Amino acid sequence: MWGEAVTRGMSDILASFYLLLFKNLFMTAHATVAIILARGGSKGIPDKNLLNFAGKPLVAWSILQARAAKAIDRVFVSSDSPAILGVATEYGALPIRRPDELSSDTASSEAALMHALDAIAKERGADPEPIVFLQATSPLREPADIDGAVATFHSQGADSLFSDAVLDDLCAWHEEDGVLKGKTFDPFNRGRRQDRKPLYLENGSIYVFMPALLRKTGNRLGGKIARYTMDYWKSFEIDTLENAELCEYYFRKYLLPYWQACDPYAKTGIPAFKPDLIVFDFDGVMTDNRVLVLQDGTEAVLANRADGWGVGQLRQAGLRQIILSTETNPVISARAKKLGLEVLQGSGDKAHDLTAFCQSHDVALERVLYVGNDVNDLDAMRLVGLPVAPADAHPAVLALAKHVTRARGGEGVIKELSEWLLAHASN
């Protein structure tokens, strides 16, 4: 029964609940399910799948990515670890208790996949198709990658698919009988890089296959094989602490802003935040951080008209707003005058100047929303109730921010913020 497959020691009541839930979920004839394998043991990094990665257990990110993908109907996590199965349940996946003999260092992924497939088919009465297999230690993927892989699988009429990265300039050598030889190119007739045939790196992030293929061949790949190409930086996976640091850097830089924007209040713990003061940095928030220097030394910047609309909407809602900038360029005061905003320019210490302003205007720092993009904003952002960052902010600012806009600096950050803030304040 399903209760046996979920976890040992689970109560009969809870097991019955999962059995009922499971049967109700799988009424469709051709459901596409994602399976994530996440065993408890790991020699390189103890409890690797529970590693705190960008604020969540590592395995949680693959679950969230699969659940956000439109192509996936249900997500399963197979593990021998009660702790991992608990995380799976917490983040919305269905847990499958994997036997110890399929959780050792020598056990194959195919054997664990077969066990999971059998558990699913036993309760559903048939195999789902296709299966999407996600590697938990490859967190550098987007829901759109999963959808793209499934769409490619179907459009090409494939039996199996792997995600890849294109290697168009890989000069690999090998040694044969003590002699070095070119493996991927002719070192004595190199030619131009763009004339070499590309190679495809199986990056281990996403696999799509028909259950019949796995049952017949014991392999996730076979028959007509397709590939789905991802950016090269998404190919890094976690097997050492050094790899984990590298992956987290890319995750925070490119992927974390999406998740923070999707569920900003999950991080703030504030159900509806109506600030008493909104503080905007100028460069990198109202502009794209570039400057046009004219022949006479005059500087000019490009501002987004949509932000003027956003400022107006916030003003109509009765929200006080100011600009706080380290710059002394008169273009800032000119833009502030145009928008009808108070401006504090030439700040050498934003945290100090913000604190002084709030004290003189009887505003509590925890009631301040601060929009900043660079390291000189960090100290001030740590003081306030709701630090906000544009999507292209410095990684340290992104990590601190409780809300990240989808817009980049100069591309309508304030307009987006006004819509988001007023929508949540009215809930």
Instruction: Give the pLDDT confidence of 341-382 residue by residue, as tens digits.
Output: 999 999 999 999 999 999 999 999 999 999 999 999 999 999
Residue 401 resides in a domain:
yes
Same structural domain, 353 and 414: yes
pLDDT at position 306 over 80:
yes
pLDDT at position 131 over 60:
yes
Q: Average pLDDT, stretch 181-203?
A: 85
Residue 236 resides in a domain:
yes
Gap between the Cα atoms of 145 and 127, Å rounded? 24
pLDDT at position 272 over 70:
no
- Rama region for 161: left / alpha / beta (φ>0; ψ in -120 to 50; rest): beta
Domain of residue 65, CATH code:
3.90.550.10
Same structural domain, 147 and 20: yes
Same structural domain, 249 and 294: no
Same structural domain, 188 and 52: yes
The whole-number pLDDT of residue 425 equals 58
Tell me the residue range of the domain where 362 lies.
263-425
Residue 61 resides in a domain:
yes
Same structural domain, 91 and 239: yes
| Residue environment code for 126-143, b if the CB has 16+ CB neighbours within 10 A, otherwise e | ebbebbbbbbbbbbbbbb
Q: Considering 230, 253, 276, which residue would you say is the last residue of a domain? A: 253
Q: Considering 229, 253, 277, which residue would you say is the last residue of a domain? A: 253
Q: Amino acid identity of 368?
A: V
How many domains in the chain? Answer: 2
Q: What are the angstrom distances between the C-alpha of 12 and each of 22, 80, 98, 201, 387?
A: 15, 19, 19, 46, 46
Q: Average pLDDT, stretch 295-324?
A: 89
Same structural domain, 202 and 246: yes
Same structural domain, 352 and 392: yes
Q: ∠ CA(424), CA(302), CA(330), 5° rounding?
A: 100
Same structural domain, 297 and 417: yes
**Regarding predicted confidence, which is higher, 3 or 380?**
380
Maximum Cα interatomic distance, the chain, rounded to a whole number of Å: 80
Q: Average pLDDT, stretch 294-309?
A: 84
Same structural domain, 184 and 292: no
The whole-number pLDDT of residue 346 equals 92
What are 93-118's pLDDT values in tens digits? Answer: 999 999 988 888 788 999 999 999 99
Residue 365 resides in a domain:
yes
Same structural domain, 180 and 268: no
Q: Average pLDDT, stretch 306-314?
A: 92
Residue 258 resides in a domain:
no
pLDDT at position 19 over 80:
no
Gap between the Cα atoms of 78 and 113, Å rounded? 8
Q: Average pLDDT, stretch 171-193?
A: 87
Residue 229 resides in a domain:
yes
Residue 267 resides in a domain:
yes
Same structural domain, 272 and 368: yes
Domain of residue 320, CATH code:
3.40.50.1000
The whole-number pLDDT of residue 15 equals 44
Same structural domain, 304 and 351: yes
Instruction: Determine phi and psi for 378, rounding to 5 degrees.
Output: -60, -50
The whole-number pLDDT of residue 13 equals 38
Confidence band (pLDDT; 50, 70, 90) for 299?
confident
Confidence band (pLDDT; 50, 70, 90) for 139?
very high
Q: Considering 235, 253, 271, which residue would you say is the last residue of a domain? A: 253
Q: Average pLDDT, stretch 57-79?
A: 94
